[in-house]
């Protein structure tokens, strides 16, 4: 099972909104930039997140999106399922479908245990805790973009916002020897407990 691109963008949007001061309205253009999502595609994702009650849309010149309390308390599973629907590791585990081989399948119990473990991890990962595992939040600007650190520029290559996190959490893949990769300037986020 691979997370869809839409669900990945949704996670990026919700975690960004969770990282800005409560009540901050962030324009769609900023959300597109920080999530690396095409703005036209992001519009559909934002609509689904709004429909799920995780974010709120504000119209007008000062319009944009803000995270609702339900969104802050949501799990990663809630965000993914608001975009992709229920997660099934294998078609035989989809509650809406039945597999005629289920009773005699040697692998079905393994698939079931793997799915239960994966769902438990995603259910346990709460958005607010993922974004702010430490008591103090970094300073953010009025549009929810990180303010520059006095000793470090705020932008990465091509003027894109640099990922924020505690020291050692984010590791750049720019120095990677993987010549075939088109994803230059990507980052790996290590989550520690």
* Token pair of 64 as six digits: 């944009």
Q: Are 50 and 79 in contact (CB under 8 A)?
A: no
Residue 192 in domain: no
* Residue-range definition of the domain harbouring residue 18: 5-131
pTM, full prediction: 0.66
pLDDT of residue 30: 96
Q: What is the CATH number of the domain that holds 71?
A: 1.10.10.10
What whole-number distance in Å separates Cα of residue 88 and Cα of residue 67?
Answer: 27
The number of folded domains in the chain is 1
Residue 117 in domain: yes
pLDDT of residue 90: 80
Q: Spell out the per-residue pLDDT of the chain, length 193, in tens.
A: 688 999 999 999 999 999 999 999 999 999 999 999 999 999 999 999 999 999 999 998 889 999 999 999 999 999 999 999 998 888 777 765 667 776 778 888 888 899 999 999 999 999 999 987 654 545 555 555 555 444 334 444 333 344 444 433 433 333 333 334 333 333 333 444 4
């Amino acid at each position: 099972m691979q997370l869809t691109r839409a669900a990945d963008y949704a996670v990026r949007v919700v975690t960004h909104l969770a990282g800005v001061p409560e009540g901050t309205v962030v324009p769609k253009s900023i959300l597109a930039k920080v999530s690396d999502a095409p703005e036209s595609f992001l519009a559909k994702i934002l609509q689904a997140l709004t429909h799920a009650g995780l974010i709120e849309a504000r119209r007008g010149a000062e319009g944009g999106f803000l995270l609702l309390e339900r969104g802050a308390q949501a799990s990663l599973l809630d965000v993914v399922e608001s975009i992709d629907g229920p997660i099934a590791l294998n078609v035989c585990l989809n509650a809406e479908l039945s597999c005629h081989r289920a009773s005699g399948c040697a692998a079905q119990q393994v698939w079931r245990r793997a799915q239960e473990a994966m769902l438990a991890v995603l259910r346990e990962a709460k958005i607010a805790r993922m974004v702010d595992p430490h008591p103090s939040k970094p300073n953010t600007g009025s549009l929810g973009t990180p303010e520059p650190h006095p000793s470090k520029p705020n932008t990465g290559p091509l003027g894109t916002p640099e990922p924020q996190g505690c020291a050692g959490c984010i590791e750049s893949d720019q120095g990677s020897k993987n010549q075939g990769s088109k994803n230059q300037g990507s980052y790996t986020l290590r989550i520690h407990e």
